[in-house]
Amino acid sequence: MNRRRFLVVAGSLLPAIWAPARATPADVAQAIKALIGDRVPTQGRLKLDIPVLVENGNAVALSVGIDALPGEVRAIHVFAEGNPLPRVGSFRFGPATGRPRIATRIRLSTSQTVIAIAEMSDGTCYTDSVDLLVTLAACLE
Amino acid sequence: MVRVLINVPKTAHRGEIIEIKVLISHPMESGQRRNEMGQPIARDIIHSFRCTYNNEVVLEAEFFPAIAANPFLSFFAVAEDSGTIVFAFVDDHGTEQVERAAIIVE
């Protein structure tokens, strides 16, 4: 690849790097509503563990669990306000679940707020969120 | 077929809560990236995962492109009886892969 061709290609990529499509807090609110309807989640019981300062957004360790018996919890959903898509993952528990807790690794494309919502079997919902800073973004290179 | 690492205790006491760890070797192409010519690279992820213990559901997960490459999952099950823990997941091509692990409950 010669210099001119490099510049042409690099130039065509820059807008994609600088202006990635982002989910907005409104998109996240809509995605949450699609899952839990008009129920209003309360703070507490649910605990979202994720580093506040993220060096590499390509793989961020996330752990989320709720202080409850496994049978009391139907599902935990995770959302990212600054990623191209608002939803990250949904985890539904079954009769053989030992603890209502999961851990995984996620991508974060920018500094943002990550939100977790727990849906209980009795219909109530709990939420927790973490504001974090991302130094190296994921997804776009 | 992709490579899967599964970590399940070989033995457990009845009623014990065991941790299950799964690592699937998969690029989880997000569909957000572009190649060097500026064309979008098609999304290719594992979008659903299901773990059952003697046919009872432990966890059903739905993955989105924000799950990192080589998806890792850790969760907990109750060891009630000896038997098989089955892991099944489906990718964007509709291919389902099934893995099994045996456990002995004393």
Mean pLDDT of chain B: 95
User: Nearest-CA residue of chain B relative to A100?
Assistant: B76
| Res. B69: pLDDT tops 80 | yes
Long-range contacts, A26-32 (Cβ 8 Å, 24+):
A27/A86, A28/A79, A28/A80, A28/A81, A28/A86, A28/A115, A30/A86, A31/A79, A31/A86, A31/A87, A32/A77, A32/A79, A32/A115, A32/A117
Percentage, residues of chain A above pLDDT 70:
83
| CA B48 to mean position of chain CA atoms | 8
pLDDT at A9: 55
Tell me whether residues A96 and B52 touch, CB distance under 8 A: yes
Could you say which of A84, A101, A106 has the minimum Cβ distance to residue B68?
A106
Could you say which of B17, B18, B66 has the minimum Cβ distance to residue A80?
B66
Q: pLDDT confidence of B18, banded at 50, 70, 90?
A: very high
pTM, full prediction: 0.88
SS3 A5: helix
| Res. B79: pLDDT tops 60 | yes
Cβ of residue B68 closer than 8 Å to a chain A Cβ: yes
Could you say which of B36, B59, B77 has the minimum Cβ distance to residue A9?
B36
pLDDT at A15: 47
Calculate mean pLDDT across residues A9-28.
63
Residues of A with CB under 8 A from a CB of B: 9, 12-13, 16, 20-21, 58-60, 63, 70, 80, 83-85, 87-99, 101-109, 138-141
pLDDT at A137: 82
Mean pLDDT of chain A: 87
